[in-house]
């Protein structure tokens, strides 16, 4: 996935971080958290390849535009799997960023720090982290359905899949 260091336009969704035509742009001098970079990378990585370049600016607005696109505009509408990836993109990006943390050997607090994901300042999303660690977060199911990972073993006696979350088969959809 393209990633560049450089100037980020004023008014970007997150300080020092922007998505421009499917590429991540980071200004290290003003970026709020390296975890934000991982989360935004999850949005781009889990967007179907043929729509990735349309990711430019506000992720939610971009996804809405893709899902609402008029087929007469020249681009075929998303098929069922692509629609699911786009519709559940926030949940998938959360699970993807957690898998990336695990792969990099970083603590969950890098992405799931106090004040993130709608929590009040000073309060970390501990429940979200516990769901990811236990394998019960909705984004994990969607990552597995997209073929990026397998659902993890949740109960004693369950068969161990080939590539259980947080391990990933591949990182890009």
Q: Is residue 119 part of a domain?
A: no
Calculate ∠ Cα 49-62-129, nearest 5°.
80
Confidence (pLDDT) at 155 = 82
In this structure, what is the dihedral angle of CA atoms 132, 43, 150, 135, given to the nearest 10 degrees? 10
| pTM exceeds cut of 0.75 | yes
Q: Is residue 82 part of a domain?
A: yes
Tokens representing 25? 């742009």
In this structure, what is the dihedral angle of CA atoms 75, 76, 81, 85, given to the nearest 10 degrees? 20
User: Considering Cα of 128, then 134, then 138, then 140, what sign does the dihedral take?
Assistant: positive
Instruction: Print the domain residue range for 45.
Output: 3-109
> Residue 33: what are its φ and ψ, rounded to 5°?
-155, 140
Q: Is residue 139 part of a domain?
A: no
**Long-range contacts (CB closer than 8 Å, 24 or more residues apart) made by 101-108:** 101/35, 101/38, 102/166, 103/166, 103/167, 103/168, 108/132, 108/133
Q: Is residue 172 part of a domain?
A: no
The total number of residues written for the chain in this structure: 173
Which parts of the chain sit beneath pLDDT 50?
A: none
Q: Is residue 75 part of a domain?
A: yes
Q: Is residue 142 part of a domain?
A: no
Does residue 64 sit in helix, strand or coil? helix
Counted domains in the chain: 1
Q: Is residue 13 part of a domain?
A: yes
Q: Is residue 68 part of a domain?
A: yes
Confidence (pLDDT) at 96 = 97
């Amino acid at each position: 996935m393209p990633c560049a260091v450089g100037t980020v336009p004023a008014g970007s969704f997150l300080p020092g971080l922007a998505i421009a035509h499917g590429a991540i742009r980071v200004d290290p001098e003003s970026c709020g958290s390296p975890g934000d970079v991982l989360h935004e990378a999850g949005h781009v990585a889990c967007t179907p390849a043929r729509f990735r370049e349309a990711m430019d600016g506000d992720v939610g607005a971009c996804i809405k535009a893709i899902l609402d696109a008029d087929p007469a505009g020249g681009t075929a509408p998303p098929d069922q799997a692509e629609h699911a990836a786009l519709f559940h993109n926030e949940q998938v990006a959360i699970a993807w960023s957690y898998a990336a943390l695990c792969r990099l050997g970083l603590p969950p607090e890098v992405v799931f720090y106090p004040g993130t994901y709608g929590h009040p300042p000073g309060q970390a999303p501990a429940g979200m982290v516990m769901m990811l660690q236990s394998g019960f977060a909705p984004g994990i199911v969607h990552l597995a359905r997209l073929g990026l990972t397998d659902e993890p073993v949740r109960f004693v006696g369950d068969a161990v899949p080939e590539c259980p979350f947080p391990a990933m088969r591949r990182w890009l959809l």
